[in-house]
Structure 1
Amino acid sequence: MSGEQLSPEITSPVRRIGRREFDFERQVAIMAIVNRTPNSFHDQGQTYALDSAVAAAKKAVDDGADWVDIGGFAFSAAQAPIGAAEEIERVVPVIAEVRAVTDAVISVDTHRPEVAQAAIEAGADVINDTNGLREPGIAEVAAAAGVSVVVTHSLGGPGRRVFRPSYADVVSEVADFLRERVAFALKAGIAPEKIIIDPGHDLNKNTFHSLELTRRLEEITSIGYPTLVALSNKDFIGETLDRPQGQRKEGTIAVNVLSIVKGARILRVHDVAAAVDSVRMTEAVLGWRGPLAPGHNLA
C-alpha cells in the first residue's frame, strides 16, 4: 500500500496558515502546547509565568514545532472561572512576544470572541476552539479576520462539567457534530480552506470513547478537512497503560503515529522533540519524504 492510498481526500490540502505553507497530503504539522494557566493538566502551571510561557514557546520552535498553541483557560471544569479580560491578559503578551521572534503558526486556544479578537490583533493566525464555535460571535470574528479555525467536538465546552458522558456511537455522533459545525462555519463566512477539525479526545469522553475514536479515526478524517488530534499525555493513555502524568510519552507516540496512518495531519503535543522524530520517521515510511542523511551509515 502506498502512502498516497492512506491519505484522506482533504479540502485544500496545500494551505498557507499564517506565514507557513503545509501540504497535508504529504506532511504532518506539529503543534506545541503552551498553557498560561495555573492548572494545566500536564505541566501543572509550569508555564503560567509570562517569561516561562515565552521561553517554552521559543524552545518548542527550536525543537522543530511548526505551530505554537497558546491558551489561558483550561478545558477542565475543576477550576475557578475567569473573565475574558483576564484571559486576554494571559495570552496576548505571550502571543506578541512569540510573534516577534518566529514565523511559526500561532493559535489561541479560546472559545471567547473577545479573546480571539485580541489574540488576532497580537499576531495569532488560528482560533483553536474546544467549544466548536458555539459561543455567539466567535465565528464572525474568524471570518472577518480571515484566520483559520480548529473546530473541536465537546459536549459541554471549556469549564463546564459533564457527568458521565454517554454516546450511543461516539464516533458517528462526533462526526455528525463536526459536520454540523463546519456547515455553521461556512455559513458564517469562514472559507473552506480555513477549516480544521478535531474530534476532541478526552473532552467529555471516557477512556473507552477515546480509544474508539482513535480506532475508527478514518470516519473523522474522511469528513474532508485536515484533522488535528490532541492526544498528548491524556488520561485515556494513562488509564490504558496505568501510567501517571510524566510517564505517558511512549503511549503518546504510539497513538500519534497510528492517528497519522488513519489520516490525522496535525498533532498537538507537549514533547516536541519526541514528536518530531516519530513524525519524520512515519512520513518517511509512508513515502512522503526521504531520509535526511541517505548513505550516511554505509561508509
Structure 2
Amino acid sequence: MFVDADICGLKVGDEHPVRIMGVLNLSHESFYKSSVVNIDSILDKAHSMVDSGATILDIGARSTWMLAKPVISREEEMQRLGPALNILKDNVDVLISVDTMFADIAERALELGADMINDVSGFKSDEEMLDAVVDHNCPVVAMATDKVPGDPIGMNAIMDSLAGIIRQAHDKGMDTSKLILDPAIGKWV
C-alpha cells in the first residue's frame, strides 16, 4: 500500500519526510509533571519545538490519563485552551492540533484557529464529535477505542476498533481521507 496524504497542506506519506508532532500539555493534573507547559512560556516552548523540527503542535488542556485527579470541567478545559490558541495562532507557522474528546471544545478550538482535532476516545466520549469535525471539514486523529481510550488489546482488536471508526466516520459523511488513525500502541489500560 502506498501512502500519500495531505493534512491541511502538509504532505505526509511514503515520498515525504517524517513529520514530528510536538505536544504542549496544559493539564496541570497530568501524571507527568515535567511535560506541563505554563501559559507564560507556551510561545517559547512552541518555538523550541518548531526549531527542533515539529510541523504540528498538539495542544492538550485535559489529562487523558484514566486515573487523573481532579477531573476538570469542560469550562476549565476551554479556559486553558483559549489563551494558548490565541497566543499561538499568528505566532507559529505550523499546524495546530487540539487534543480533546468533546465536540463543543473542538468547535470552539477550530473557531479560534486550530487546524485539526485529536480525539483519543475515537469518537466514543461525545457522540456529537463526528458532527463537529464533519461540519468544519477538518482532519481528525482518532485513537483505537472500544469503551475507554486505548482499551483494544492485541492487533485484531485494534484493527477491529479502527475499522469501526472508519465506518462510523463514513456513515456520518466525513471525507475519510481526513481521518488519521492512531492504533493506541502504548500503556493506555
1:190 aligned residue: 174
The CA deviation at 1:154 is: 3.3
Query: Counting strand residues as a fraction of each chain, which structure ranks higher?
Result: 2
The CA deviation at 1:125 is: 0.9
TM-score (norm 2): 0.89
Shift of the 41–202 alpha-carbon distance from structure 1 to 2, 3 Å rule, reads: farther
Identity %: 26
1:155 touches 1:204 (CA, 8 Å); kept in 2?
Answer: no
Matched, 1:62 2:51: yes
2:42 aligned residue: 53
| Paired amino acid for 1:90 | R
Shift of the 194–177 alpha-carbon distance from structure 1 to 2, 3 Å rule, reads: same
1:133 touches 1:185 (CA, 8 Å); kept in 2?
Answer: no
2:135 aligned residue: 144
Query: Does 1 or 2 have the higher relative contact order (CA < 8 Å, sep 6+)?
Result: 1
2:141 touches 2:181 (CA, 8 Å); kept in 1?
Answer: yes
Q: Secondary structure at the match of 1:66?
A: strand
**Structure 1 runs not aligned, ≥5 long:** 1-7, 206-299
2:27 aligned residue: 37
1:37 touches 1:73 (CA, 8 Å); kept in 2?
Answer: yes
- Structure index of larger Rg: 1
Backbone CA RMSD of aligned residues: 2.0
Matched, 1:122 2:112: yes
Shift of the 182–111 alpha-carbon distance from structure 1 to 2, 3 Å rule, reads: same
1:70 touches 1:106 (CA, 8 Å); kept in 2?
Answer: yes
TM-score (norm 1): 0.58
CA distance, structure 1, for counterparts of residue 57 and residue 74 of structure 2 = 21
The 5 A counterparts of 1:96-175 are 96-134=86-124, 135-157=126-148, 167=153, 170-175=154-159
The 5 A counterparts of 1:206-225 are none
2:145 touches 2:161 (CA, 8 Å); kept in 1?
Answer: no
Any idea what the Cα deviations from partners look like across 1:166-207, whole Å, max 9, x if unmatched? 84xx111011100111110121122122110001123534xx
| Paired amino acid for 2:180 | I
CA distance, structure 2, for counterparts of residue 155 and residue 203 of structure 1 = 16
2:123 touches 2:142 (CA, 8 Å); kept in 1?
Answer: yes
2:21 touches 2:55 (CA, 8 Å); kept in 1?
Answer: yes
Q: Secondary structure at the match of 2:54?
A: coil
2:75 aligned residue: 85
Q: Secondary structure at the match of 2:29?
A: coil
Q: Secondary structure at the match of 1:176?
A: helix
The CA deviation at 1:44 is: 3.7
CA distance, structure 2, for counterparts of residue 192 and residue 60 of structure 1 = 29
**Structure 2 runs not aligned, ≥5 long:** none
CA distance, structure 1, for counterparts of residue 20 and residue 31 of structure 2 = 20
1:293 aligned residue: none
| Paired amino acid for 1:144 | D
CA distance, structure 2, for counterparts of residue 87 and residue 43 of structure 1 = 17
